[in-house]
Amino acid sequence: MMAKTLLEPAVGDALLIVDVQNDFLPGGALAVPEGDAVIAPLNQWIARFEAHALPIIATRDWHPPDHCSFAFRGGPWPPHCIAGTAGAAFAPTLALPKSAWIVSKATTPDQEAYSAFAGTELDAWLKAAKVSRLFVGGLATDYCVKNTVLDALSLGYEVVLLLAAMRAVDRTCGDGERALQAMRQAGAAAVRG
Ligand code: VGL
Ligand code: ZN
């Protein structure tokens, strides 16, 4: 068998697309700078994974209207990604296949969850599908991508960061770079594309 490469997905790999939702794109309620730049590279990865019939998972921030992360409840963020609203919908130009598996997170009023593994079936689903390596892109590098990747690594998955396909909020200058360092320090590999 050929060694696994970082550029060509193979059996055991899954694509994990984090929170590419309208509210995180330019003009959205919690716009990530250049958030829309992740879409073109992600669509290329989607095509590669589809060509090999490999699993594609899309996570979404899916908050109730009174979520604890919202400023009026004392949280750090403006209201965003309220379940069922246009802002919570996936970016219309993201070419998600019908077969993509959708993971909703932070769905209850009093719990924040930046990691797609927190309070979801993601780990069980990946194990059932015999996935051992995750190619990860999406938004935002310094919040949901970072927390999802660190959890994935502690759960024993290999991770490949899709650098062109992620962007940071950068609330504090350098947050995105520090998040990348933390993920690589914890064992994540990375590709430019
Ligand atoms: C996120 C801030 C608040 C994210 C979600 O998806 O990275 N960031 N909620
Ligand atoms: Zn959120």
Tell me the domain boundaries of the chain.
13-191
Q: Is the pLDDT of residue 127 over 70?
A: yes
Which of 2, 43, 24, 4 has its CA nearest to residue 159?
4
Give the model's pLDDT for residue 5: 78
Q: Name all contacts of 82-85 with Cβ < 8 Å and 24+ positions apart.
A: 83/107
Q: Is the pLDDT of residue 1 over 60?
A: no
CA distance 193 to 190: 9
Architecture of domain 13-191: 3-Layer(aba) Sandwich (3.40)
* Helix or strand (DSSP H, E) at 81: none
Give the model's pLDDT for residue 8: 87
CA distance 190 to 101: 23
Q: What is the mean pLDDT of residues 126-154?
A: 98
CA distance 132 to 11: 9
| Atom 3 (ligand 1) nearest CA | 77
> Contact 30/78 with Cβ under 8 angstroms?
yes
> Contact 61/116 with Cβ under 8 angstroms?
no
17 CA from centroid of ligand 1 (Å):
13
Given the CA of residue 144, which atom of ligand 1 is nearest to it? 7
175: three-class secondary structure by DSSP = helix
| Ligand 1 pocket, residues with Cβ under 6 angstroms | 19, 61, 69, 77, 139-140, 143-144
